[in-house]
Amino acid sequence: KAGVTQTPRYLIKTRGQQVTLSCSPISGHRSVSWYQQTPGQGLQFLFEYFSETQRNKGNFPGRFSGRQFSNSRSEMNVSTLELGDSALYLCASSFGLEQETQYFGPGTRLLVL
Amino acid sequence: AQSVAQPEDQVNVAEGNPLTVKCTYSVSGNPYLFWYVQYPNRGLQFLLKYITGDNLVKGSYGFEAEFNKSQTSFHLKKPSALVSDSALYFCAVRDGATNAGKSTFGDGTTLTVKP
pLDDT in tens, B1-18: 789 999 999 999 999 999
Mark yes or no for CB contact B46/A101 under 8 Å: yes
> In this model, does residue A103 exceed pLDDT 90?
yes
Residue B49, Cβ density class (10 Å: 0-12 exposed, 13-18 middle, ≥19 buried)? buried
- Band of residue B101 on the pLDDT scale cut at 50, 70, 90: low
Q: How far apart are CA A101 and CA A92, in angstroms?
A: 9
> In this model, does residue A27 exceed pLDDT 70?
yes
> In this model, does residue B97 exceed pLDDT 80?
no
Mean pLDDT within A52-66: 94
> In this model, does residue A63 exceed pLDDT 70?
yes
Helix (H, G, I), strand (E, B) or coil at B83: helix
Omega before residue A106 within 30° of 0, cis: no
> In this model, does residue A79 exceed pLDDT 70?
yes
Choose the closest CB to A96 out of B49, B99, B100. Answer: B100
So what's the pLDDT on residue A2? 82
> In this model, does residue A100 exceed pLDDT 90?
no
Residue of chain B with shortest Cα separation from A32? B101
So what's the pLDDT on residue A1? 67
> Does residue B24 or residue B98 have the better pLDDT?
B24
Mark yes or no for CB contact A98/B32 under 8 Å: yes
- Band of residue B43 on the pLDDT scale cut at 50, 70, 90: confident
> Does residue B106 or residue B95 have the better pLDDT?
B106
A105: closest CA of chain B, how far (Å): 6
A92: left (phi over 0), alpha (psi -120 to 50) or beta: beta
Mean pLDDT within B29-51: 92
Mark yes or no for CB contact B36/A104 under 8 Å: yes
Q: In percent, how much of chain B has pLDDT > 90?
A: 79
- Band of residue A97 on the pLDDT scale cut at 50, 70, 90: confident
> In this model, does residue B100 exceed pLDDT 90?
no
- A-B C-beta contacts closer than 8 Å: 69
Q: How far apart are CA A77 and CA A18, in angstroms?
A: 7
A→B contacts (Cβ < 8 Å), by residue, are 4, 31, 33, 35, 42-43, 45, 48-50, 55-56, 58, 90, 92, 94, 96-99, 101-107, 109
Chain B residues with CB-CB distance to A102 below 8 A = 34, 46, 101, 103
